Structure 1
Amino acid sequence: MLTFANVNSFYDRSHILHNVSLEIPTGQITAILGRNGTGKTTLLKTLMGLTDRSEGQIRLESDDLAVLPTFRRARAGIAYVPQGREIIPDFTIRNNILMGAFARTDGKREIPPLVAELFPYLMQNLDRNGGVLSGGQQQQLAIARALAADPKIILLDEPNEGIQPSIVQEIESIIVKLNRELGLTVLLVEQNIPFVRRAAQRFAMMEKGRVVEFGGIERLSDDMVHRHMAV
């Protein structure tokens, strides 16, 4: 289990997360919800050690992640697919994927069979530059890069944002498959409530840098969504 205990996080002097305590059960999809600017992305970045400063405990099983640099957190089994994907446009598809493999602890630097199974288009175009891909294909590439790390947990920050509708359903199906069939723990920042209700087993609702609601997905009522997510 991944746990946050009284976590605070900062960008320079800006205090973004306030005493966040949260449990992310192994083998489930936990959705992180809330309006824009409530700290959802900062929660993922704090987990990866990518904010200016943080306080509190972040534990993955017996490991205290809060004292580790980012690359050690990746090697502990956490892969991050950031908002905006952040692939390297001048690198080939092959090299973008293989970047993820440097987080493996077994020394293997290869494209795993799972990537070939999930993303046949990428495998057929390994020598094309990532920058020529569509937004949806770049999202597939970012997920493939994360899977090359052989992670225990994958962090997905609004994976359907800015993606053509024809690929949204495919991305959603892949996320569900990673969890249901492969047992991967998923921490998902997402605004699409119908998808969250179909895919996630648990949720955490954020407001002004704090977790204000948390529980099984059956607790995610329309009233709660309106109170904490309506603009």
Structure 2
Amino acid sequence: MLTLSNVDSYYGRSHILHGVSLQVPDASFVAILGRNGTGKTTLLKTLMGLTDRMTGSISLGDVEIGTAPTYRRARSGIAYVPQGREIVPDFTIRENILMGSFARPDRRHVVPDLVPELFPYLIDNLDRPGGVLSGGQQQQLAIARALAAEPKVLLLDEPTEGIQPNIVEEIENIIIRLNKEMELTVILVEQNVAFARRAAQRFAMMEKGQVVASGGIGELTDELVHRHLAV
């Protein structure tokens, strides 16, 4: 179980997260919801140790990781697919995927066995530069790179944002498969409520850097959505 207890997080003097507590059971799928600017991305970056400072506790199983550097968190089993994907455009597809393998516990630099099944286009084009791919293909590449670390927990920041509609459902279904069939714990930042309801077992709603509502996905009522997501 991934557990956050009373976590505050900062960029310089800006205090973004305020007393966030959250429990993410093994092999669960948790959707993090909220308007833009409510701290959702900062929550994921805090889990990876990518903010300037945090207080409180983050533990993965029985191990406290809240004071660990980013690379140790990655090696402990947390992989991150950031908003905007952040692939290296001049690296080949193969090289981009293998970047993730540096966090593997056994240090083997290999393309994961799952990639041919999930992303056949990537396997057929391993020597193409990542920068020539479409947005949807780059998102697939970013997920494949994360899987190369053999993670226990996958953090996804709005993975269907800016993706062509014909690929959105494909990516959504792959994320669901990773959770249901591969038993990978998924924490998804998302504004698409329909996808969150279809994919997740639990949710946490954020407002002004705090978790203001959480529970089973069946408790994500239209009233909560209107109160915290409607513009």
Which letter maps to 1:224? L
1:75-90 pair list within 5 angstroms: 75-90=75-90
Q: In structure 1, what is the equivalent of residue 38 of structure 2?
A: 38
SS in 2 for 1:94: helix
Structure 2 distance, partners of 1:174, 1:57, is 31
User: What letter corresponds to residue 43 of structure 2 in structure 1?
Assistant: L
Equivalent position amino acid for 1:95 in 2: E
Give 3-state SS (helix, strand or coil) of 1:155's partner: strand
In the superposition, the TM-score normalised over structure 2's length comes to: 0.99
> What number of residue pairs does the alignment pair up?
231
2:95 partner SS: helix
Instruction: Give yes or no for the alignment of 1:226 onto 2:226.
Output: yes
Aligned to 1:62: 62
How much identity, in percent, do the aligned residues show? Answer: 71
* Mapped partners of 2:106, 2:189: distance in 1: 30
Q: Which amino acid aligns with 1:140?
A: Q
Using the TM superposition, give the Cα deviation of residue 112 of structure 1 relative to its aligned residue in structure 2, in angstroms: 1.2
What residue in structure 2 maps to residue 122 of structure 1? 122
1:110 aligns with 2:110: yes
What residue is the counterpart of 1:202 in the other structure? 202
* Equivalent residue, structure 2, for 1:156: 156
Distance 2:105 2:222 in 1: 43
TM-score, with normalisation over the residues of structure 1?
Answer: 0.99
Structure 1 residue 183: Cα displacement:
0.2
Number of the residue aligned with 1:20? 20
- Which runs of 5 or more residues in structure 2 are unaligned? none
Distance 2:24 2:207 in 1: 18
Question: How far off its partner does 1:82 sit?
Answer: 0.2
Deviation digits for residues 121-176 of structure 1, max 9, x if unmatched? Answer: 00000000000000000000000000000000000000000000000000000000
SS of residue in 2 equivalent to 1:121: helix
